[in-house]
Every structure is written in C-alpha cells, then in structure tokens.
Structure 1
C-alpha cells in the first residue's frame, strides 16, 4: 500500500449490531476503517450522558490516522432516550451489554484483529469503561478474556469504591488509562483518581495510569461546549451546578494520549 493510500480518510460505514441483553437492542453505530492492509486493531468509543457528539469523532480521526478501526455506538437512540441527566439510562451497568455486543460485532469483522480491541469512554461511557476493567463485570460477558486496553475519560471517579455498585478493583489483565480534568466539578478534587489508585492492590495499581488535564473541566474535549448543567451526581454526589467547557489544548493532548496509549498497549504480538 502506498503512502498516499494510507493518508486517505478512513472509510465510513453506518452499521448496527445486537446488544447482549436477554432481549437484544439493535444499536446503530458509525464504523470507520483505515486504508491499511491486513487485520487492524480497533477501539470502541462510548459517548456520555448527552449522547453522540463531535467529541467521539475527534478521537476517531486521530485513532484512524494511527491505524485503528473505530466504532461509535449510539446507545441512547436504541432506547428512545433524549440524553442529559434526565434522559439517560438509570444505571450504567445496564449498558454493558451494548459494549460487549459492540465487541462481538468487531470480533466478527474481517478487517479487525479480534485480539486487539480496546474501549475509550467519556463521562457515563467512562464509567462503563471502568466497570469493564473489573472482573466482576467483565466476566459476566467475557469470562477468561478482556478488552486489550481501556481508557475512561472523566468518569466521575469519586463514585468508585464510594457508591455501592461501583466497585473498582480485582481488575482484568489489561492496561487502564484514567483521564480526568483538574477543574472537573463531578470530582471537585483533582487528586481523586490518585487516591482511588493508591487504595488498590499492588497488582491492580500496576495496571492503571493516570493523566489529569490542567485547566480542564468536565467535557473539556467537546468542541464548542460551554454550558452549566445540574446533575445529581455532580459535586461528589451533592448535586448542583457543573460547568462543561471545551479546552482546545487539553483536547489535543488527550487525542495524542489516546493514540499513544492504544498504539503502545495494542502492538501486534
């Protein structure tokens, strides 16, 4: 394949797949495939409470350029939900069958290397990625296996090992890169991630990396966003005002971090 062919935009496909619920949902998604030879690694991108946005596409662009297939599911449309604090599923765990259904779809795709499938999630989707990193949740869908790498981005880290149902520990055998914003008002403390990881076992601590983006609010990587929302999970569960504001510098840094993290952790074995 020539250099010019490799530099072509990834081919875009609108697809759907079945979730792994007892009564499966049909989940629509955008699938992008780089113009590269052979089977490629892949990353699933999980949107946040607001639903699909330009954020996921920004990461997909960078990952496609690095040679990754990307899959961007629209989890809310499958449920007839509008998004936001009042328009999202009641629990994150009920969306995990979507994530593992997405993985099954990629495993069967002729351009995807089934052994190299990762996930990056944002906010609500970041919580799902955190849960998928634990054996307690992963093994219900993928016993004996795991995603190759997981990158939760501002997943309201304060809830883990604090709120019942959000236990983080006994992790799968895969690297995790936890990304948060210094000014994120869900956590209200930029050291929350470090404190969470410090409380893990030595074995689990070795699997988790942390990146705190300076001068970055929740949703720092959402182009054009500058809003205030009220969310009962904000301010460490006290609820109230949460600022979401785009930071172009932090966005660019997070994009490069994603490409580097998945490239390093999913090198061809």
Structure 2
C-alpha cells in the first residue's frame, strides 16, 4: 500500500478552520465554504478526504453534519474515499455516516469510554470501515476534543482496539499539532511497531521533509492541515515528493 498524504477539512461553525492544538478561538485559518475546499483538494490529487466536525468533537453535538453530508454527496462520485470524525458518540451516529456513504468513521471519545462499540461496528460493517483516533498528549490519550486526559497510552489502547476489530488507527501527536514546528516521529513509530493494522499519522507536519520522516516510521498515511492551508507547500508538491522519493 502506497504512503498517502491526506488533506484535512476541519469544520467549526460551518467554516473550514485550522486550530492551534485544537483550542477554540485559536483559528489561524477560516474559510467560508468547506465543500469548495474539499473539491479543491480533489483537484490537486487527493485520494482521501479527512473530514472533522470540530463542534462535534469539542461540544459533543455534530453541528456540521449537513455540510459533511453535502461533501459526501458531491465529492464521493469524484472517486475519493472519505473518512469522518468528530462527535461520533454512538453506534447510531457511526452507522448513519456509513450508510450515507462514508468509507471510514473515526471514533475517539466514544471508543475510549466504550471499547465494545468498536467491535459492534466492525462486526456490523467490517473492520475496514472502523478507525479509532488516538490523540496523545504527554504520552496519554486525550478525549472530548482534547479537553480531558485519560490514563491510557496510545500503545495500550491501539493494541486493544486492534483486537476488538478496528481496521486502522489515527494517531495525532497533540504535543506538535498546529504549532508548525515540525514532527516528532518517535511516538508514531512506537505505535506502528506495536500493531499490525495501518496507522495514519497526524500532528506537526510543516515541511516536505516532515512527510518523508513520517513515512519512515512505517505509517500508512499522514493527515496534513495547517501546512497546506498556510502555504508551506501544496498538496501536489506533497504527492510528488512522496512519489519521487520511493
């Protein structure tokens, strides 16, 4: 499986935003039309879209659900895969998205609180449609839009969720997320080496060299947000860098 660069479309209050370390009010980017943003990423070569409802993640209510539905409706026929997270708190929430045509649901808080939900979804829809987000700060998993910290490590929960049927993991290093100061690959590599399912990395990508560093960890893909939105490099440049450095 080729390493993939996945652009993020993070939504808050109906806009496409980029927050610094997930903190509300820290928006460094705010664009009015997330649907147009998603289509632009496809035009630049995106094979997968990463959609996050930040209101859902932070407040627990999926306020951007209509926008996500519109993106799925208009972009799915363009040949991309779509993964969605943020505020998915129940089996019904996840099932509704999968039935809508989303390729993967990303569970975070709900999975940490009720790990059996992962098994229920994997049994009902297939492991390949279930991703669990492990958002790590100071070595421990954060939940509820990063407002609360659990006592669990990424490796501990990653191995558990793999055994419950998760088809992939999304590992975000909160310590570097949104700071535009580069990646820290150690935690990602440690998780990759502890599981046999794909790990998608996120957090801190600032340069094209960061992409190559993440690939060396063994991660299957990397989600990029702030670096793309602030013009550090384009998605096309990122894709070309990966293909030229095989």
TM over 0.5: no
Question: Between Structure 1 and Structure 2, whose CA radius of gyration is higher?
Answer: 1
Normalised by the shorter chain, which TM-score bucket? 0.3 to 0.5
Which TM-score applies when normalising by structure 2? Answer: 0.43
Which TM-score applies when normalising by structure 1? Answer: 0.40
Between the two structures, name the one with larger relative contact order (CA 8 Å, sep ≥ 6).
2
Task: Name the structure with the higher helix share.
Answer: 2
